Amino acid sequence: MDGTIWLELVIKGFVLCFILLTGFAYLTLYERRALARMQVRVGPNRAGYQGLLQPIADAVKLIFKEELTPAKVYKVVFVLAPILTVVPSLVLAAVIPLGTSFVLFGRTITLYVANLNVGVLYLTSIASIAVYGITLAGWSSNNKYAMLGGIRASAQMISYELSLGLCFAIAIVMGNSMNLVDIVNMQKDMWFAVTQPVGALIFLIVTLAEVNRAPFDMPEAEQELTAGFHSEYSGMKFALFFMAEYQKMIVISMIAATLFFGGYREFWFLKDTFFSVDQNWFLGPIYLLLKVIVLLFFMIWIRATWPRIRYDRLMAFGWKVLLPLSLVTVFITAAGILLAQELNNQLFIYSIPVLSIICAMVAVGLIYRGLRRKSDGRI
């Protein structure tokens, strides 16, 4: 690589980190105002116009807040755990395409940091690292409650990572590639969320568990009068855990938009028009931003409306419901695409969402029947 390529990569990396850090700050404001509106409250509106300076006020407070380190902690791991949690949330976004490309000073600038042929594999591997920071934070605190939070996080990650991997497989099969740019371009005619709505819904549910969001926020143990894995953390160390959670929300929404909702591409009925990304490159980041905002609102809405489920039911839901349903969904998707290619009949492609929805309805019926049996005392 020549010097200009390295300079371009460094600039892109800094810009991406700035976007994520700014997004994290104002996602907190977005969530608090959205929750306040749903719960008939006002929300933060004192710091700046309409509360726009509230994230800056929170950052200043956390910077100057006293950091307390208990005497019995394993200090090296205790300090490194927040860093190990927040770094993967930044690194994940490197392979996510934000748009197409444009020409600047005679040079073609692509709107992504790296374009890997195995981009999906990169996402799965980096996403699995983040749980180590949470687990090590609980262990290094030398606190039983914190340790329980770390163990819960690792168990939850293992349970839902399998379904997450199968959802990645659905996108790979439908896009016929592990390259994220190719997967986005394959959705030019139709989003994968339309062709495979059950796979997209499973992905959205599993990502809530992966980022420890309600109703899957068991590692934080808020129902037990303690903070879970970060019980012993304060000041900027706590802020790093806080930052990691919200940055992962943004990155997971970007991944969901890329794999199932067309990524930076326009609605399929707008292709070959003035609003097409092929006609105007600057529309790509705008479309992706709008999709991310909608998906983030979905996460906030779930937090505002759904109660936290019991831990044994959380694990049972992952192993007994989502994993079998994910396996069936992958099978239906692969079989439909294979039959469509072998028999040259697109009718099999259109049968994928129908069969997947039927399987999902059967799963919902079995869940409802099981809950009724438990409530009647027969189990």
pLDDT digits (tens, 9 = 90+) for 304-361: 998 888 888 888 888 888 898 898 889 888 888 888 887 776 766 777 788 888 888 8
φ/ψ (deg, to 5) at 236: -70, -25
Output the six-digit token pair for 323. Answer: 């994993």
pLDDT band at 374 (very low <50, low <70, confident <90, very high): low
pLDDT > 70: percent of the chain: 94
Q: Which residue has the tokens 């399929």?
A: 268
Q: Does the pLDDT of residue 368 top 80, yes or no?
A: no
CA distances from 145 to 39, 94, 138, 336 (A): 31, 35, 8, 48
Spell out the residues 6+ positions from residue 293 whose beta carbon is closer than 8 angstroms to its own. Answer: none
| DSSP secondary structure letter of residue 306 | S
How high is the pLDDT of residue 291? 94
Q: Does the pLDDT of residue 294 top 90, yes or no?
A: yes
Contact 135, 154 (CB under 8 A): yes
Mean pLDDT value of segment 139-158: 86
Beta-sheet strands, E only, within 77-168: 101-104, 107-110
3-state secondary structure of 216: coil
pLDDT band at 183 (very low <50, low <70, confident <90, very high): very high
CA distances from 193 to 296, 327, 362, 378 (A): 17, 17, 20, 38
Closest CA to 370 of 316, 327, 322: 316
Residue type at 38 in one-letter notation? M
End-to-end CA distance of the chain: 65
Biggest distance spanned by C-alpha atoms of the chain: 73
Model confidence over 95-128: pLDDT tens digits?
Answer: 999 888 888 777 788 888 888 888 888 998 888 8
Output the six-digit token pair for 28. Answer: 């907190």
Least confident of 25-29, 60-64, 202-206: 60-64
Distance CA 96, CA 299 (A): 20
Distance CA 139, CA 133 (A): 10
Sign for the pseudo-dihedral over CA of 326, 328, 333, 338 = positive
Output the six-digit token pair for 342. Answer: 């072998």
Beta-sheet pairing, 107-110 with 101-104: antiparallel
pTM: 0.91
Spell out the residues 6+ positions from residue 39 whose beta carbon is closer than 8 angstroms to its own. Answer: 304
Output the six-digit token pair for 85. Answer: 């949690």
3-state secondary structure of 314: helix
Distance CA 77, CA 29 (A): 31
pLDDT band at 1 (very low <50, low <70, confident <90, very high): low
Alpha carbon 274 to chain centroid, angstroms: 31
How high is the pLDDT of residue 290? 93
3-state secondary structure of 109: strand
Least confident of 31-35, 38-42, 80-84, 219-223: 219-223
CA distances from 119 to 10, 103, 317 (A): 19, 24, 29
Contact 80, 233 (CB under 8 A): no
pLDDT band at 2 (very low <50, low <70, confident <90, very high): low
Q: Does the pLDDT of residue 36 top 90, yes or no?
A: yes
Mean pLDDT value of segment 38-56: 88
Model confidence over 249-288: pLDDT tens digits?
Answer: 999 999 999 999 988 988 877 777 778 888 888 888 999 9
Q: Does the pLDDT of residue 187 top 60, yes or no?
A: yes
